[in-house]
Amino acid sequence: DFFDVDGLAQAALQVLEAPQHYRNTLGVAARRTIAERYALRVTLPRLMALFQRVAEAGVCA
C-alpha cells in the first residue's frame, strides 16, 4: 500500500540494518529498471513520436 507509513518505516529499517545486501539487490534492480525504461532503444521512438505529433500540430515555441 502506497500510504502504509509503518510498512515504509519497516522497509527503511531493513535497508539500514543490512546495507550491503540491499545495496547489491537495489543496485541490480535499479540497473534493470534503467535499461528497460530509459535505454535509447526505448526512449528514442517515444521522442520521435512526440516530435512528429508536435510537427503535425504546427506547434512551435
Phi-psi label, residue 58: left if phi above 0, alpha if psi -120 to 50, beta otherwise = left
Q: Is residue 4 part of a domain?
A: no
In a domain? residue 10: no
pTM summary value: 0.53
Alpha carbon separation from 45 to 20, 33, 36 (Å, rounded): 37, 18, 14
pLDDT mean values, one per 10 residues, the chain (61 residues):
93 93 92 95 96 86 60
- Count of domains forming the chain: 1
33 near 27, Cβ under 8 Å? no
CA dist., res. 27 & res. 30, Å (int): 5
11 located within any domain: no
Residue 27 lies in domain: 16-57
Q: Is residue 27, in this structure, part of any structural domain at all?
A: yes
